[in-house]
Structure 1
């Protein structure tokens, strides 16, 4: 009776280590507790040394030059595998639409929002009297990451570039389709930002522009959750109110 007297502790320990490895714990940290939320300690300076800080990148202040830079070797996605798509449509349009990244099919077609999501997008545009030729379509991330998600450490830079891009256009309104575009311009996910017309002041170099933003759902989300189309229609109505088609 009682506990198994033949318990194999070596096998149990190996099993536990395998479980931790499968869970992603593959690095020994320390035996003592550590406050992971504490700010990092300031760097220790050695007397007589000078710390050289690289100057920030100066972004082009015209739309054509910025689009060329965005597709060039200095862009954050330049070393990624896959075809980049900077923007499409009419850059002088009063309506700009910002999405997160190209779809998987887009690299083949060379067009943002291809496939089923693109067909739904076209119907949404038609419902407000627009076509792809009468809007300016921009992606926060010009090349689709291999995993379909942008690394957190790159988000701040991509958001900065998206704001700069929008500021260089002549758009009066911007539709933010999905969480990444909403975070880029409004600092919050689409669900929290929906339902309001958000006034924004964006800067690109010495240029300062006022624009209004509407957060809504990405077409791929609407394909997965058709019940949200009614709410998306409300967003589109708010978007075009007061704009000439």
Structure 2
């Protein structure tokens, strides 16, 4: 007789956490099915259904609380999910230009429905910190913890970023933190080029309204977008560049490694340390 595998709460918890990080937040069936089983070939297949004797009359289908397939489609269409395209990118540019203050930009972005990421995220992740600061840091997109709290960099990478700021005498009372993408992509996937292009006008206007003395781009995506380059972060980091705002103002910009990358590659923390020392020196020079 085959012994059953003992129940392991820790493994189940890890599995559920994996599903949550992948964007799975709802059950589609009342009875769980093992899709990896050789005996399972999908719903409706001959192997996946119980065999019926020739003299057995078909049984009526049992009532189910599972919504009909058409219901989710109707729900999505009623929410007005937009197809990300050049039209939505043009709308974003026009709406971003209308913002005269950070508060207005926040309100405009909260009401913008031209990016499909808004409809899979739980919260708009706008910014955190002091908008009057002379130091602004920009990452790529929110993760799971940021999506839940509605603030950027509150997970493990955020805690590391806080320690990096503390090393140069800064915290969230005298630094301003945001992302290029204000909504979490499902399952933490990379934003598509069109999604990034739609969000670009908002982050560019955001920077223009804050007017920091020093801009820090965290990681490859934000660096390439805001510096309009195809050069990788490992070649750019540690060297001063300039971000050109839509209004023509140049802001000294330091590309550096993203805290999430440093958590995976702690041996490169010394490189980020060097970058933040340069940032501290630049801020002192500009404040003198």
- Fold shared, TM-score > 0.5 on shorter chain: yes
Query: Any idea what the Cα deviations from partners look like across 1:175-197, whole Å, max 9, x if unmatched?
Result: 11111110121123322321311
Equivalent pair of 1:163/1:184 in contact (CA under 8 Å) = no
Q: Which of 215, 218, 221 is 1:177 aligned to?
A: 218
Q: Which of 127, 143, 156 is 1:87 aligned to?
A: 127
The alignment covers a number of residue pairs equal to 190
Deviation at 1:110, TM superposition (A): 3.4
**Equivalent position SS for 2:243:** strand
Query: Any idea what the Cα deviations from partners look like across 1:8-32, whole Å, max 9, x if unmatched?
Result: xxxxxxxxxxxxxxxxxxxxxxxxx
Mark the CA change 1:239 to 1:73 in structure 2 (over 3 Å): closer, same or farther: same
Runs of at least 5 residues in structure 1 that lack an aligned partner in the other structure: 1-52
Query: Any idea what the Cα deviations from partners look like across 1:106-159, whole Å, max 9, x if unmatched?
Result: 233333212321221111010010001111111111111103210122222223
Equivalent pair of 1:71/1:78 in contact (CA under 8 Å) = no
Q: Which deviates the most, 226-235 or 100-109?
A: 100-109
* TM-score when normalising by structure 1: 0.71
1:222 equivalent to 2:265? Answer no
Aligned Cα RMSD in Å?
2.1
1:65 equivalent to 2:108? Answer no
- Structural mapping, 1:146-161, within 5 Å: 146-148=186-188, 149-161=190-202
* TM-score when normalising by structure 2: 0.61
2: distance between equivalents of 1:223 and 1:136?
Answer: 22
Larger helix fraction of residues: 2
Equivalent pair of 1:160/1:184 in contact (CA under 8 Å) = no
**Equivalent position SS for 1:111:** coil
Runs of at least 5 residues in structure 2 that lack an aligned partner in the other structure: 1-86
Structure 1 ranges of 4+ moved more than 6 A: none
